[in-house]
Copies of this chain bind each other. A is one copy, B any other.
Amino acid sequence: MTEAGALRQHVRPGAGPGGRQAVLEAAALAFTRNGYTATSIDDIADVLVATKGRVYHYYRSKLDIFLDVMISGMRELTERVGPVAGDLRLGPTERLRQMARIHATLMMTRHSFQRVAVQGIEMHLAGSLRPRQRRTWDEIIAMRDRYEQLFADVVEAGQGSGEFRETPARLATKPLLGALNWTTIWYRPEEVQQEGAGPAVQRIADELAEFVVGGLRKVPDT
């Protein structure tokens, strides 16, 4: 890391509307529209209303941008869901319901980042990673595993309390997150989605949360 560009990144990371964060937002949008491979650096520049030069000023390669979008998306999830997952004053059912609601909401309000994160996880880019990127990738996988564990934990807590069906927690986590993550596929944000989120977003998030809680609930004997 001895070039001027790299140094500047450290001085003001992502400051200003024309800076690194703008490139990231533009890239998230472009990747969402066309997928990783089909998105060219020129496409990203187009969203920025700029040229390639600006993009390469902040990032060394397309893959670096992509990995950074993924990290940002997963960080947002962890930061919002983590506190609720750790709030043991809530019973397992209510805790899971709130975790699911927050997760689902982010799938919609931060659609482009979350969609990239979801699609990136399923990409097999293990090959073609340079050592530095390889380390970033390992960190992404670790973040994902820790995040999934938050859900596995609440599932097990619910089994312990008798609220949830007995089923392998790690397996139950798959359809749970699948139902929620699928939102990035079918949901189409029409306008600018702000933090507060619109009413439609809340209604959908509630429905998804009910669904996943129900999917685990123990059926009372007749």
Contact = CB atoms under 8 A, between A and B. Distances in A.
Contacts of A168: 207
A210 interface: yes
A181 interface: yes
Interface string A155-184: 000000000010110011011111111110
A205 to B, nearest CB: 11
Given A38-B37, A180-B178, A182-B179, A167 B207 contact: yes
A203 to B, nearest CB: 8
A9 to B, nearest CB: 28
A131 interface: no
B171 A204 contact: yes
A212 interface: yes
How many copies of this chain does the complex contain? 2
Label chain A's interface by main secondary structure. Answer: helix
A208 interface: yes
Interface stretch (A66-74, A83-91, A132-140, A213-221): A213-221
A191 interface: no
A130 interface: no
Contacts of A181: 178, 182
Contacts of A215: 179, 210-212, 214-215
A130 to B, nearest CB: 17
A8 B27 CA distance: 45
A175 B179 contact: yes
A188 to B, nearest CB: 11
A33 interface: yes
Given A34-B124, A175-B182, 18 more contacts: A35-B36, A35-B123, A36-B37, A37-B37, A167-B210, A168-B207, A174-B182, A174-B183, A174-B186, A175-B208, A177-B182, A178-B178, A179-B179, A179-B215, A181-B182, A211-B215, A212-B215, A214-B219
